[in-house]
Amino acid sequence: AGTEHRVLGLSMAAALVAVVLADPVRSRLRDQARQWVGQQRRPAAAALETFGARMTRAVPMDELLLQLTENLRSTLGPLGAEVWTGSDGVLERTVSVPERPRARITLAGAELAAVSRARVSGNAWAAVWLPTVLADAGGPGGRALRIASVTHLGKLLGLLVVVRSGDERGFTDDDDRVLAEVARQVGLALH
């Protein structure tokens, strides 16, 4: 009788442990499966957290920008993400996911001033101030984009560009806030 009670007690404890652990494991496996098949994007804040953590380590800048671009694509821009870098109004597409050929834009005068002062902007703004980037990212037809200016002390050091389908949910204020903060951190890193 004592052995039966002990076996019953151990069985109940094992069942309790299984119940407690099953839900988090199932949830994690479901999220992983959705990520593998592309059904779910990570929250936008994940790009910010990931970049901040990697920036504190001694990761080479080109690797850091590639990882950032991959994170931006998985969190904000499923159709693509790009990082443009440069100085004195000359910017080059440094990294893009999916990979695209290098491109260069030159900004001067009012264009340079407007882009340097902008935080996060969309298609309409890009049509006026960065039409080349808008056209290069797929144009206004069916695609929504956000461009964040990367600056430090008022000096333009680059752009972050994310693109999603116009059929998807629109960019939120939280998306824009995260993109602006990532751009600020990239500005510090490039400086």
Sign of the alpha-carbon dihedral angle for 133, 96, 72, 104: negative
Look at residues 96, 74, 98, 99 and name the one whose alpha carbon lies nearest to residue 83. Answer: 96
- What is the DSSP annotation of 12-56? HHHHHHHHHHHHHHHHHHHHHHHHHHT--PPPTHHHHHHHHHHHT
Encoded tokens for 120: 């996060």
pLDDT at 40: 45
Look at residues 184, 169, 173 and name the one whose alpha carbon lies nearest to residue 48. Answer: 184
CA distance 65 to 62: 5
Each residue's pLDDT tens digit in the chain (191 positions)?
A: 678 888 888 888 777 766 666 666 555 555 555 555 554 444 555 554 555 554 555 668 888 899 889 989 988 889 999 999 999 999 999 999 999 898 999 999 999 999 999 999 999 999 999 999 988 876 556 789 999 999 999 999 999 999 998 777 788 999 999 999 999 989 988 88
pTM of the predicted structure, to 2 decimals: 0.70
- Adjacency order of strands within the sheet including 120-121: 104-106, 90-97, 80-87, 155-165, 143-152, 120-121
CA distance 186 to 170: 24
Across 38-65, b (16+ Cβ under 10 Å) vs e yields: eeebeebeebbebbeebeeeeeeeeebb
